[in-house]
Each structure stands twice: as C-alpha cells, then as structure tokens.
Amino acid sequence: MSEQRPQLEEEVGSGPETRLDEPPLFKVLLLNDDYTTMDFVVEVLKHIFHKSDGDAHRIMLNVHRNGFGVCGLYPREIAETKIDMVDSLSREKGFPLKCTMERD
C-alpha cells in the first residue's frame, strides 16, 4: 500500500545529514606556527575551549605535528567569539597563534 500522507520537508531533507531545524555548525581550527609556546596553546585550549588538561595536550600535539587541528564545533557566533578571544589573548602575549573556522 502506498503512503497517503505527504512527506514533510524535515523528513525528506536533501541528503543524509540535512537538519532544517538546527543552526549550522562550524569547526574552529587552531593552526601551527614555530613561535607560539606549547604551554600557551594548552592554556588557550583549557580556558577558551574548556578542554581537560589531557585533551588540551593531545590537541596541541596534534596541531604541532599535523599543522592544524579541531578545537570544537560551534554555532557561527560562538565560533567567531572564540576566535576573537584567541586572537586578542595571543596578541596580548605577543604570539602569532592563528585560529580559523570552517562550515562543518
């Protein structure tokens, strides 16, 4: 027997990961450089991204070895605020640490 009820857009979507009722999420990425200290990156991950000491060390080493790494997944405005916080703290301490975001 065929389906009588028209399908809602939420049920159909346009692909397996479509979420019409949730805001898009953005990956916040930390970039490696040769001058920022490992300790400072760990502090940034703990205080701005609320990582545990162990996770902060793991993420920092991943960025150090691979050139970049994900700090977290956030809605646009929260991602932008975290990037601004990393920028101002890094500038204040004289480090060139760069942080960016991309649509998940």
Residue 78, judged by CB atoms within 10 A of its CB (0-12, 13-18, 19+), counts as: middle
Binding residue for ligand TYC, selected from 43, 55, 64, 70, defined by CB under 6 A: 64
Compute how many other C-beta atoms are within 10 angstroms of the C-beta atom of residue 45.
25
Place of tokens 């389906």: 3
Compute how many other C-beta atoms are within 10 angstroms of the C-beta atom of residue 59.
21
Q: What is the spatial distance between Cα 6 and Cα 48, in angstroms, rounded to a whole number?
A: 46
Residue 100 in contact with ligand TYC, rule: CB under 6 A:
no
Residue 57 in contact with ligand TYC, rule: CB under 6 A:
no
What track of x and - describes contact with ligand TYC for positions 77 through 96 (by CB under 6 A)? --------------------
Residues 2-41 binding ligand TYC (CB under 6 A) are 30-34, 36-38, 41
Kindly list the residues in this chain that would bind ligand TYC in the complex (CB under 6 A).
30-34, 36-38, 41, 60, 63-64, 97
